[in-house]
Amino acid sequence: MMNQTSSISSIIPLDKAGNNYVYSDEQLMARFQKGDENAYIELVNRYRDRLLNFVYNYIGDFEISEDIVQDTMVKLYQKKHYYREIAKFSTWLYTIAKNLANTEFRKKKQRKITLLSQISRDDKPYDIPADQPDTDQEIQSDIANRIIRKAIDELPEKFKTVILLRDIQELPYEEISSIIEVPIGTVKSRINRARLKLQVELKHLRT
Amino acid sequence: MNRYEFENLISDYLDGSIPFKKRKEFEDYMKEDKDAEALVSNIKTTISEMNNSQKVKVADNFNEKLLSRVKNEGIVSGPPNNTILGFTPFYASILSCLCVAFFVVASQLINVSQDSNSDIKTNQYTAELEQNNPSYSKKIDLEKELIVDSNIDSLQDKKEKEKPNNSNKIKFVNY
């Protein structure tokens, strides 16, 4: 049915000049809507890591974030016919992921219990599987990242979303405006205020 | 420039989208206020750290889990089910109300035009009759006069009835 390894050869055909032709996201989506499931695999491969970074920085839990990304891709499969080429595909996909992440974030706030995934057998905080830093510089960088992530977590929801989309996902203002459905002026204003608030939080965490 | 205006322009300055005139004011403000300069520098560093932050990746079996979930859960992708002739229920109900309103208005307009048409036809028929049968017009005139006369008579009777009857009220007596 769907073969992960054969997807690349079928999705990057050669054009008349014999050069590799890479389909855009919208073209892949059009192919998927017509029934080409290899196009779906290619879209999953393109966006899974990006979405995971966004959701992980939003939720703070790796396993739950991966589940949310899975749910997003399942929704993409189920609701492919709802996509219209009026909006960018990435905007549509980020909107689905953001809504699922928001739902989980609100549930988490209500629960306020320690998830089992956050505790290892030694009762130490759970670390995401990553390469161990070798140098002092990498350790410093790792600590800085954790502090920034914690500071972002303390921000109000509307500031957190824009900061993640702009400064971590590096999306343009127009796309952020479409995802969160506010005017571009409001996006810029929120990003500015979020950055100022983030500085205040970082000051507290670093002292 | 005050502190409030300065803080509002920080992101535009860092994005390079600040107008030239404002840029000069902004930089002058930074030169005068070391705290302001430090703030801009810190924000710039934080943005850079966020851009270069550690990127996480999905587990190796992510795709496998996803595909088995799609297959095993019987997830089917298809066109939206809850549509009526391609419209969602909300839009379908609005459209049907508009259609009903259109038909009601159209039927009202048709009835009005039919009534006016029947009046015209009656007048035409009468005119034809008068042309073909001159005595018919005289008969009509006579009928009209009778109607007018009867109206006058009835009016006179009405006036008489409305006259106050004072005969029982005051009597002059000659002694």
Segment B23-36 mean pLDDT: 92
Chain A, nearest residue to B55 by Cα: A53
pLDDT tens profile B74-126? 666 555 556 666 677 777 888 889 999 999 999 998 887 776 666 666 666 66
Instruction: Give B100→chain A minimum CA distance, Å.
Output: 29
List the single range of A149-158, A192-201, B116-125 with lowest mean pLDDT: B116-125
Q: Which residues of A touch B49 (CB under 8 A)?
A: 144-145, 148
Q: CA-based Rg of chain A, rounded to a whole angstrom?
A: 19
Residue A178 has pLDDT above 70, yes or no: yes
Q: CA-based Rg of chain B, rounded to a whole angstrom?
A: 48
- Residue-level pLDDT at B175: 52
List the single range of A124-133, A148-157, B124-133 with lowest mean pLDDT: A124-133
CB atoms within 10 A of CB B126: 13
Chain A contact for B49 (CB, 8 A cutoff): yes
Question: In terms of DSSP H, where are the helices of A22-155?
Answer: 25-33, 37-59, 62-78, 89-111, 136-154
pLDDT tens profile A4-58? 444 443 455 545 455 567 889 999 999 999 989 899 999 999 999 999 999 998 9
pTM above 0.80, yes or no: no
pLDDT tens profile A133-148? 556 777 777 777 788 8
Question: Which amino acid appears at position A162 of this protein?
Answer: V
Helix and strand numbers (H, E) in chain B are 6, 0
Phi, psi (degrees; rounded to nearest 5) at A190: -65, -40
Helix (H, G, I), strand (E, B) or coil at A125: strand
List the single range of A140-144, A188-192, A194-198, B148-152 with lowest mean pLDDT: B148-152
Helix (H, G, I), strand (E, B) or coil at A28: helix
Nearest one of A30, A23, A28 to A84, comparing CA atoms: A30
pLDDT tens profile A71-122? 999 999 999 888 888 889 999 999 999 999 999 888 877 776 555 555 444 4
Chain A contact for B129 (CB, 8 A cutoff): no
Residue bearing the bigger pLDDT, B21 or B153: B21
Q: Where is B119: in which H helix or E strand?
A: helix B89-132
Residue bearing the bigger pLDDT, A106 or B66: B66
For residue B56, give the nearest of A44, A128, A167 by CB distance: A128
Q: Which two tokens stand for residue A167?
A: 């400064």
- Residue-level pLDDT at A182: 94
Helix (H, G, I), strand (E, B) or coil at A24: coil
Instruction: Give B13→chain A minimum CA distance, Å.
Output: 11
Please state the length of chain B: 175
User: Are B50 and A70 inside 8 Å of each other by CB?
Assistant: no
Burial classification of residue B110, based on how many CB atoms lie within 10 Å of its CB (0-12 exposed, 13-18 middle, 19 or more buried): exposed
Chain A contact for B5 (CB, 8 A cutoff): no
Q: What is the pLDDT confidence band of residue B36, given thresholds at 50, 70 and 90?
A: very high
- Residue-level pLDDT at A144: 77
Percentage above 70 pLDDT, chain B:
56
- Residue-level pLDDT at A71: 94
User: Are B57 and A142 inside 8 Å of each other by CB?
Assistant: no
List the single range of A53-57, B57-61, B70-74, B132-136 with lowest mean pLDDT: B132-136
